[in-house]
Amino acid sequence: MPRLISPLLLALIGFILFGDGVYIHAKAWLAQVLLERAFDRSIATGQAVKPWSWADTWPVARIEVKRIGASAIVLEGASGQALAFGPGHIQHTADAGERGIAVYAAHRDTHFRFLRNVAMGDIIDVTRSDGRHIRYRADSSAVVRFDASGIDATTQGFELILATCWPFDAVTSGPERYILHATLIGADR
């Protein structure tokens, strides 16, 4: 009997770990579906629509880099909950397409993993939740300390910053951030 318990216990533990992994991926997939729906409803209604009733955030934009097939729904704010589900629009920065600098931040190992593949000159399309389309061109990047980003919140241009942790392949977090700068090249009303 004891020889039977060990394999059964190992099988049970394996099943639990497998189930937990499936649950996490299923939850992440469902969240993206709900974010897409909320974003589409926001465009249709002109109102901020939360992806689920208890959310402390809502979709404000979709960013796309078509050359590499990357897309992400941007959420309002950069709280831990918001960044768990997508890039966050840093509060007190401009909205995309408005005078000033719009800053979106996300985790390097999830929603902004694609930044490592963005090349200078790539087009970054932003669709806001009010339906307005804005087009930027990636024009520079830098690795900076988190407390010395060099981002000028008072800029008079029409700029976009995508920010994430650096280096991309790190296992632990560190003090450096990767900053991708883009300049507006077109917008529709």
pLDDT at residue number 123 = 98
By CB atoms closer than 10 A (0-12, 13-18, 19+), residue 27 is exposed
Q: What is the pLDDT of residue 81?
A: 82
> By the 8 A CB rule, do 38 and 62 touch?
no
Q: What is the pLDDT of residues 104-139, one digit of tens each?
A: 999 888 889 999 999 999 999 999 999 999 999 999
Q: Write out the residue range of the structural domain in which residue 47 sits.
A: 2-187
Q: Is 43 left (phi over 0), alpha (psi -120 to 50) or beta?
A: alpha
Q: What's the pLDDT at 43?
A: 96
Q: Is 112 helix (H, G, I), strand (E, B) or coil?
A: coil
pLDDT of residue 189: 63
Find the CATH number of the domain harbouring 85.
Answer: 2.40.260.10
Strands 133-145 and 176-187, how do they pair?
antiparallel
pTM over 0.75: yes
Write down the pLDDT at residue 107: 87
Residue 95 phi/psi, 5-degree rounding, is -75, 150
List % helix, strand, coil for the chain (3-state, nearest 5).
Answer: 30, 30, 35
70, 74, 40: which is closest to 58 by C-alpha?
74
**Number of domains the chain is built from:** 1
In the predicted model, residues of the chain with pLDDT beneath 70 are 1-2, 4, 25, 189
